[in-house]
């Protein structure tokens, strides 16, 4: 499916999974929503299905993404929240018209309006970011320990000691690097 485009990293927290559509910000950045269609695909993964998306809406989405990244990073290091980022997040939140609906199975579904579903979906993401950054949820914002990543992620582990935004990518790479370094320093202790 959609060969040639980078895979998504689907985390459990909507807002920080969204910022994870751009990875390796401090290295060779990987854009995981390079086209409007890939934003459509990503939104569908999170129950925010839209039929269409323009390049202008993709630009709005990326602007929101980088604003959430900036605000979440500041929150993680207990820095002042950047005003420009707050402006974008609050604007997107205010302009979303999504309604939460409860299904018979007891699950929450988002109902996006017919007039501007992409904006509505972005409103849901902005509101999620607000609840995470405001500290309303059980967890802690932290920065990924990978030097080429440093993504803000939401640590919900019991001990609050998670070090990487994603165990399968950044976490693994770090472990491999450490193994290689140890191996080089002390070849006899291999494996």
* Footprint on this chain of Zn ion (rule: CB under 5 A): 144, 146, 149, 151, 165, 170
Rank residues 129 and 151 by Cβ distance to Zn ion and give the closer one. 151
Please identify, using beta-carbon distances, which residue of 54 and 157 lies nearer to Zn ion. 157
- What does the alpha-carbon distance between residue 170 and residue 163 come to, in Å, rounded to a whole number? 9
- Smallest gap, in angstroms, from Cβ of residue 178 to Zn ion? 15
The CA-atom distances, in angstroms, between 154 and each of 78, 129, 179 are 14, 10, 27
Which tokens is 33 given?
């929503």
Helix (H, G, I), strand (E, B) or coil at 23: strand
By beta-carbon proximity to Zn ion, the closer residue of 74 and 151 is 151
Shortest distance, CB of residue 132 to Zn ion, whole angstroms? Answer: 17
CB of 115 to Zn ion, least distance (A): 37
Q: Measuring CA to CA, how many Å separate 147 from each of 25, 26, 35, 39, 173?
A: 10, 7, 27, 27, 11
Q: Smallest gap, in angstroms, from Cβ of residue 160 to Zn ion?
A: 17
Nearer to Zn ion, 22 or 49 (CB): 22
DSSP 98-154: -EEEE-TTS-EEEE--SS-HHHHHHHHHHHHHHHHHTT-SSSEEEE-S-TTT--EEE
Closer residue to Zn ion in complex, CB, 82/171 = 171
Q: How far is the CB of 161 from Zn ion (least distance, A)?
A: 15
């Amino acid at each position: 499916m959609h060969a040639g485009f980078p895979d998504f990293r689907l985390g459990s927290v909507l807002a920080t999974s969204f910022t994870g559509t751009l990875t390796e910000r401090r290295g060779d950045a990987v854009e995981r929503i390079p086209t409007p269609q890939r934003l459509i695909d990503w939104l569908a993964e999170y129950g925010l299905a839209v039929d269409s998306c323009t390049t202008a809406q993709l630009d709005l989405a990326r602007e929101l993404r980088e604003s959430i990244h900036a605000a979440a990073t500041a929150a993680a290091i207990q820095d002042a929240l950047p005003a420009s980022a707050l402006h974008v997040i609050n604007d997107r939140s205010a302009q979303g018209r999504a309604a939460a609906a409860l299904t018979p199975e007891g699950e929450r579904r988002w109902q996006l309006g017919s007039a501007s579903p992409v904006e509505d979906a972005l409103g849901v993401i902005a509101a999620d970011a607000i609840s995470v950054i405001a500290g309303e949820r059980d967890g802690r914002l932290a920065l990924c320990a990978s030097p080429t990543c440093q993504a803000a992620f939401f640590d919900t582990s019991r001990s609050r000691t998670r070090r990487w935004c994603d165990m399968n990518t950044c976490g693994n790479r770090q472990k491999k690097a450490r193994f290689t370094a140890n191996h080089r320093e002390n070849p006899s202790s291999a494996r």
